[in-house]
């Protein structure tokens, strides 16, 4: 049976590198690239076809931060495919990032320096905004849109004859201290990225609790620090190129500096070759690259607990009802006006 794989945010960076690696591994694969910009999506498809001319690669229009688009995309996907084996929830944003230089230099001379480079903890803030439907954009894109996508694709993900795997691209920047159950969208503070990634760790555990008995499994990965559009938004690309020798040096102390999208996709690729039921729901699978440039995947216990995970799940279900109602009301409004 040909496996079907859907990747969000597949047109660049880690997502695109993953797609190339998957096609090299399995020529029979039916790969669907879910992207918000169809020109960039088509360019990615063409690039993949250059190295894999016979590959089956389709495109799906999906703006994961826009809930209408999520519902439409799920419908379109179900019209084209009757199964889904791997759902990579990889699209992500970090808008208007700011580095706290004072905290960075303080951290440089502290015993916490390796951890600071591995996680970026305490030195990065972002400025979020509200989407037209009233959700915080980072939350909507990195977490909630993906949550609704899983819910909408449930009929394909939960099938009797095989297990499926949902894989979240999380981060080592996912910090419990940045997340609050009283403010799951992170409206009140300035680390929405960290909060959304911590929420994805919690949600993955909840999905396992609720869906394992229906054949759906969920896992979380961290790609390490990778040079992509996301990191070029933090510091300009010429700066990263300039400090590349320093980063190779840092890699000797923390293998989390994977640096290339190919290396960063290691854990995503590794999961593709595992049996979903053999994975640890409490583990985050890290892409790591040694000082000599060898790639490997290592599981690390996540700083999460079941109560918090369940509490978040309940809040997300509530929010799902609210959003569906808002969209229905909007539709009704338009109908009555016409």
Ligand X SMILES: NC(=O)C1=CN([C@@H]2O[C@H](COP(=O)(O)OP(=O)(O)OC[C@H]3O[C@@H](n4cnc5c(N)ncnc54)[C@H](OP(=O)(O)O)[C@@H]3O)[C@@H](O)[C@H]2O)C=CC1
Provide CB contacts within 8 A for 243, sequence distance 6+. none
* Residue 332 burial (10 A CB sphere; 0-12, 13-18, 19+): exposed
37 binds, among ligand X, ligand LWWYT26F, none (CB under 5 to 8 A by kind): ligand X
Of 193, 262, 285, 313, the active-site residue reads: 193
Structure-block tokens of residue 261 = 């999208």
Task: Give 142's strand partners.
Answer: none
| Residue number with CB closer to ligand X (31 or 93) | 93
Please tell me the distance from the alpha carbon of residue 87 to that of residue 127, in angstroms, as a whole number: 29
- Residue selected from 7, 14, 48, 123 as contacting ligand LWWYT26F according to rule CB under 6 A: 123
Please identify, using beta-carbon distances, which residue of 164 and 200 lies nearer to ligand X.
200
Which residue in 171, 156, 237 sits closest to 204, CA to CA? 171
Name the residue among 219, 240, 241 with its Cα closest to residue 170: 219
Complex with ligand X: residue 54 or 107, whichever CB lies closer? 107
Burial state string for 47-68 with b = 16 or more CB within 10 A and e = fewer than 16: ebeeebeebebbbbebbbbbbe
**Total chain residues near ligand LWWYT26F (CB under 6 A):** 16
Sites of contact with ligand X (CB under 6 A): 8-9, 11-15, 35-37, 40, 62-65, 90-93, 141, 169, 171, 223, 225-226, 228-231
Point out the residue whose Cβ comes nearest to ligand LWWYT26F.
120
CB neighbours of residue 98 within 10 Å: 12
Q: Quote the least distance from Cβ 251 to ligand LWWYT26F, whole Å.
A: 11
- Looking at the Cβ atoms of 217 and 269, the one nearer to ligand LWWYT26F is 269
Question: What residues from 216 to 235 belong to the interface with ligand LWWYT26F (CB under 6 A)?
Answer: 225, 234-235
Q: Which is nearer to ligand X, 64 or 157 (CB)?
A: 64
Q: How far apart are CA 193 and CA 186, in angstroms?
A: 9
Q: How many CA atoms lie within 13 A of 288 on its CB side?
A: 15
Does residue 193 carry a catalytic annotation? yes
103: contact with ligand LWWYT26F by CB under 6 A: no
Residue 93 interacts with which of ligand LWWYT26F, ligand X, none, CB < 5 to 8 Å by class: ligand X
Residues that bind ligand LWWYT26F in the complex, under the rule CB under 6 A: 99, 104, 117, 119-120, 123-124, 171-173, 225, 234-235, 243, 246-247
């Amino acid at each position: 049976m040909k496996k079907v794989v859907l990747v969000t945010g597949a047109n660049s960076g880690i997502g695109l590198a993953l797609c190339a690696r998957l096609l090299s591994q399995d020529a029979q694969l039916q790969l669907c690239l879910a992207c918000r910009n169809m020109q960039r999506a088509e360019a990615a498809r063409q690039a993949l076809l250059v190295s894999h001319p016979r590959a089956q690669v389709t495109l799906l229009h999906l703006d994961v931060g826009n809930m209408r688009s999520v519902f439409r995309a799920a419908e379109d996907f179900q019209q084209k495919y009757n199964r889904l084996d791997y759902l990579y929830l990889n699209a992500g944003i970090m808008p208007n990032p700011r580095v706290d230089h004072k905290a960075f230099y303080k951290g440089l001379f502290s015993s916490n320096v390796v951890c600071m480079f591995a996680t970026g903890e305490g030195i990065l803030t972002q400025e979020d905004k509200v989407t037209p439907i009233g959700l915080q954009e980072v939350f909507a894109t990195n977490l909630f849109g993906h949550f609704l996508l899983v819910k909408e694709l449930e009929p394909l993900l939960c099938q009797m004859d095989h297990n499926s795997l949902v894989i979240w691209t999380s981060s080592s920047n996912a910090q419990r201290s940045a997340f609050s159950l009283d403010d799951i969208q992170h409206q009140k503070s300035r680390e929405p990225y960290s909060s959304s990634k911590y929420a994805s760790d919690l949600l993955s555990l909840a999905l396992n609790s609720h869906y394992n008995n229906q054949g759906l499994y969920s896992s979380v990965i961290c790609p390490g620090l990778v040079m992509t559009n996301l990191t070029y938004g933090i510091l300009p690309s010429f700066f990263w190129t300039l400090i590349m020798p320093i980063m190779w040096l840092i890699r000797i102390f923390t293998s989390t500096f994977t640096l290339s999208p190919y290396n960063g996709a290691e854990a995503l690729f590794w999961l593709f070759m595992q049996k979903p039921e053999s994975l640890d729901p409490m583990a985050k699978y890290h892409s790591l690259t040694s000082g000599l440039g060898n790639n490997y995947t290592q599981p690390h216990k996540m700083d999460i607990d079941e109560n918090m995970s369940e509490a978040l799940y309940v809040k997300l279900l509530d929010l799902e009802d609210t959003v569906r109602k808002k969209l229905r009301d909007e539709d009704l409004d338009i109908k009555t006006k016409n």
